[in-house]
Structure 1
Amino acid sequence: MTEGRIAVVTGASSGIGRAVTRHLARRGVHVVAAGRNAERLAELAEPAGESGELGESGAPGDGPGRIVPFAGDITAPGHTEELLAAAEREWGPADIFVASAGLGLPGTVLGSDPSRWEELVQANYLAVLRQLRACAAEFVKQAEADGGARVRDLVVIGSTVGRQVSAANPVYGSTKFAVHSLVEALRQEVCTHNIRVTLVEPGFVRSGFQAAAGYDAAWFEAIAEENGPLLTPEDVADVIGFAIGRPKHVHLDDIRLRPTRQRA
């Protein structure tokens, strides 16, 4: 149910987005890999060497799943439309979109850095809202043209702290609560077109996300000691691959995954 499909993945420079890009390419999906770090994106698109072993893209150089990098700022208005247009120029209209780009912010309501609140809301809420609107509009247009003959998947990376209030991380968590509401509302709006809008809510994932957001390394290692082994980005990618590979009439619309030993 995935080979030959066309995808756009945001946040592909690192972490979950990068793992999703590699996973989809292995499964024969052509991917526009979007992110801010052009060098890291270019590494994803490198073909396999002469040995024939898999390159970092996870797909042989002459395999069916190709990766095209697209560097840019997902918070910029119109960027989602540019990504969809890039996919169509390369292969045809995209039928998978994975919204993985986002920022973290440590601290409580009183203890977090207020100078970073606006950037967080721009990246984690407004940019996601723009992605949802632009992608859903394009998918509805496609579905009206073909009568919904094909399934189309829009996947959003949420978080368990968007489901369960955390006094330790509420500003970041509040953006995820807001996005979760948008995802379910959009699912209800477009499901009759055979468009599946899926929320994936990971718990603790060990990736570069924590360092980039400025979370305390000692705190995170204590979390890992108590709750580990933690999830990897590849674990999340596997779940997404499973969800979008279901038959057209089956929709896993809200998926929470945690390390087995994570309580909250």
Structure 2
Amino acid sequence: MTEQRVAVVTGASSGIGRAIAVRFARQGIRVVAAGRNADELAKLAGELPELVRPVCGDVTDPGHPERLLAAAEKWEPASILVVSAGHGLPGTVLGSDPDGWRDLVEVNYLAVLRQLRVGGEYFTGQAERDNGRRVRDIVVIGSTAGRQVSAANPVYGSTKFAVHSLVEALRQEVCAHNIRVTLIEPGFVRSGFQETAGYDMAWFDKVTEDNGPLLTPDDVAETVGFVVDRPAHVHLDDIRLRPTRQRV
């Protein structure tokens, strides 16, 4: 299933997105690796020069998803889109910083909605031209925080709840075109996400102690690689993976 495929992966300059890009390349999938850190993307492309094409940009910029798909066409039209870019916001409903709300919604919800719209239209158009003979995959990195309500992290969690509903709605809309839309819901992952988002690292150290060993980005990437490698008639549409000791 992965031979001669081309993937677009957002959030590929670090964490889960980078691990997915590397995993795909090692499966023989050519990757347009998108992210905001040009140096890290260049380093990734240097490690896998024949298989990774870096594109630096922000998922919230108008026209960014279209540019990524156009970059893939320098090889051939993409048949995989992985929506991985996003960030967190610490705090409760009463305690979170309201100055961060709008940016969080823009990145975690509106940018995802635009990627799903553009990717869904693009893949549908491709499928109409080849009568759906080729399977196509849209994979979205969600979170267990989008399934289990948490008073400790509700603002971030609410964006994931919203995204999860979009993923299932798009799956229903495009599945007849042989397009698989998959939600991956990781639990606690040690990836640098928490530090970047400004979470209390003493709290996260306690999380690690209580729930660890935590997942790694490679654990998530392995799952994504397995999903896109299924036969065309098989769709694993919603997968939760947690550290074995994580209770919620």
TM-score tier, shorter chain, comes to over 0.9
User: Could you list the runs of 5+ residues in structure 1 that have no partner in the other structure?
Assistant: 47-54
Residues 1:109 and 2:93 are matched in the alignment:
yes
Tell me the equivalent position of 1:52. Answer: none
Cα shift readout 1:38-80 (whole Å, capped 9, x = no counterpart): 000000001xxxxxxxx4x4xxx5xxx6000000010112100
Tell me how far apart the structure 2 counterparts of residues 41 and 210 of structure 1 sit (CA, whole Å): 21
- Letter in structure 2 aligned against 1:110: L
- Letter in structure 2 aligned against 1:43: K
Tell me the equivalent position of 1:240. Answer: 224
Tell me the equivalent position of 2:105. Answer: 121
- Letter in structure 1 aligned against 2:61: A
Q: How does 1:32-51 map to 2 (within 5 A)?
A: 32-46=32-46
- Tell me if structure 2 keeps the 8 A contact 1:159–1:203: yes
2:65 to 77, 80, 99: 80
Cα shift readout 1:171-230 (whole Å, capped 9, x = no counterpart): 000000000000000000000000000000000000111111001111101000000000
Cα shift readout 1:117-166 (whole Å, capped 9, x = no counterpart): 00000000000000000000000000000000000000000000100101
Tell me the equivalent position of 2:29. Answer: 29
Residues 1:10 and 2:10 are matched in the alignment:
yes
Tell me how far apart the structure 1 counterparts of residues 28 and 8 of structure 2 sit (CA, whole Å): 14
1:190 to 167, 174, 180: 174
Cα shift readout 1:96-131 (whole Å, capped 9, x = no counterpart): 000000010110000101000000000000000000
Q: What's the secondary structure of 2:119's corresponding residue?
A: helix
Tell me the equivalent position of 2:135. Answer: 151
- Letter in structure 2 aligned against 1:126: L
User: What's the TM-score, normalizing by structure 2?
Assistant: 0.99
Cα shift readout 1:1-45 (whole Å, capped 9, x = no counterpart): 112100000000100000000000000000000000000000000
Tell me how far apart the structure 1 counterparts of residues 174 and 51 of structure 2 sit (CA, whole Å): 29
Residues 1:181 and 2:169 are matched in the alignment:
no
Residues 1:209 and 2:181 are matched in the alignment:
no
Deviation of the 1:241 alpha carbon: 0.4
Tell me how far apart the structure 2 counterparts of residues 75 and 15 of structure 1 sit (CA, whole Å): 19
- Tell me if structure 2 keeps the 8 A contact 1:77–1:130: no
- Tell me if structure 2 keeps the 8 A contact 1:29–1:66: yes
Tell me how far apart the structure 2 counterparts of residues 45 and 17 of structure 1 sit (CA, whole Å): 14
Q: What's the secondary structure of 1:16's corresponding residue?
A: helix
Residues 1:133 and 2:117 are matched in the alignment:
yes
User: What's the TM-score, normalizing by structure 1?
Assistant: 0.93
- Tell me if structure 2 keeps the 8 A contact 1:105–1:112: yes
Tell me the equivalent position of 1:169. Answer: 153
Tell me the equivalent position of 1:50. Answer: none
- Letter in structure 2 aligned against 1:8: V
The number of residue pairs the alignment matches comes to 248
- Letter in structure 2 aligned against 1:27: Q
2:54 to 45, 60, 69: 69
User: Could you list the runs of 5+ residues in structure 2 that have no partner in the other structure?
Assistant: none
Deviation of the 1:252 alpha carbon: 0.2
Q: What's the secondary structure of 2:73's corresponding residue?
A: helix
Q: What's the secondary structure of 1:127's corresponding residue?
A: helix
Task: Write out the 4+ residue segments of structure 1 that deviate beyond 2 Å after TM superposition.
Answer: none
- Identity within the alignment, %: 72
- Tell me if structure 2 keeps the 8 A contact 1:25–1:31: yes
Tell me how far apart the structure 1 counterparts of residues 124 and 17 of structure 2 sit (CA, whole Å): 24
